[in-house]
Amino acid sequence: MVEFIDVNKSYNRRVIFKNLSFRVAQGRINQIILPQSAGKSTILKMIYGAEKPDSGFVRVFDFNVGDLNYSGILLLRRYLGIIFEDIRLISTMTVKENLQAITKLTKRNLYLSEEIFDILSIGHLLDKYPQELSISEQSLVNIARGVIYNFPLVIADEPLRYLSEHYKRKVIHLFKRLNEKKGITFLIATLNSIDDDFFTIEINNETA
């Protein structure tokens, strides 16, 4: 589903990855554990095309991401749910409108799942605006937006960062439920292991 082959990536002469290689198998909840500033967000950006490798190959589904132009990246993102570390809700839209915002871009049907709303306890927030929500509530909406379209692959950058232990357990339960019920594959970049049931991908990076 996702494969990195001998990927090299540098910023301003600082080597982030050298000959990075790993695979993400379909049908699992995967986690990549890396320390701060070690490139975990860069890995996800190379998967959805916001960054390209300096050399090597990043393959996602049948796409060679490094070769994609803008139209190709838009096509790729029809199959990717993205949970950003920085919460990107549009302040002039209600929660429901934020959830609907990428329908046209992805050409996927919105899946307004009562189960997702119930698990995350956000159903009562649909008509509110982001500025009316706590940081935890905004984070839960951000997470819901990444999974609500039934994307076959969801990638998440520190999705539990702003959550209490209570809400962290809810999100972990949601991920497991969607993986079991819908077959959704997850790839989570994190500083620390999230759950012992998640499959930890060992990073082969020669700069580590």
Work out how many domains the chain is built from and give that number.
1
157 neighbors 84 (Cβ within 8 angstroms): yes
Is there a domain that residue 205 lies in? no
Max CA pair span of the chain:
49
188 neighbors 32 (Cβ within 8 angstroms): yes
> Residue 92: which CATH number?
3.40.50.300
| Residue 84 to residues 14, 56, 66, 115, Cα–Cα distance (Å) | 24, 25, 21, 22
Q: Could you give the CA distance from residue 42 to residue 157 in angstroms, rounded to a whole number?
A: 10
Give pLDDT, residue 40: 93
pTM of the model: 0.92
98 neighbors 141 (Cβ within 8 angstroms): yes
- Taking only the tens of pLDDT, the chain with its 208 residues reads 999 999 999 998 899 999 999 999 899 999 999 998 889 999 999 999 999 999 999 999 989 999 999 999 999 998 999 999 999 899 999 999 998 887 766 666 665 678 899 999 999 999 999 999 999 999 999 999 999 888 999 999 999 999 999 999 999 999 999 999 999 999 999 999 999 999 999 887 776 5
Give pLDDT, residue 26: 93
Is there a domain that residue 206 lies in? no
Is there a domain that residue 198 lies in? no
Instruction: Look at residues 179, 133, 134 and name the one whose alpha carbon lies nearest to residue 156.
Output: 179
Is there a domain that residue 169 lies in? yes
Supply the range of the domain harboring residue 113.
Answer: 2-191
